[in-house]
Amino acid sequence: MFTQPKLLVLDEATSALDGETEANIADAIHNLKGEVTVVMIAHRLSTVRNSDVVIYLEEGQVKSVGTFEVVRAQIPDFDRQASLMGL
For 28-81, the pLDDT digits (tens) are 888 888 899 999 998 888 888 989 999 999 999 999 999 999 999 999 999 999
Instruction: Kindly list the domain boundaries of the chain, sorted by start residue.
Output: 1-43, 53-87
For the whole model, what pTM was predicted? 0.81
DSSP element (H, E) containing 83: helix 76-84
- Inform me whether the pLDDT recorded for 27 exceeds 90: no
- Inform me whether the pLDDT recorded for 2 exceeds 90: no
Cβ-count burial 43-70 (b if 16+ within 10 Å, e if not): eebbbbeebeebebeeeeeeebeeebee
pLDDT at 68: 97
CA atoms within 13 A on the CB side of 1: 10
- Inform me whether the pLDDT recorded for 15 exceeds 90: no
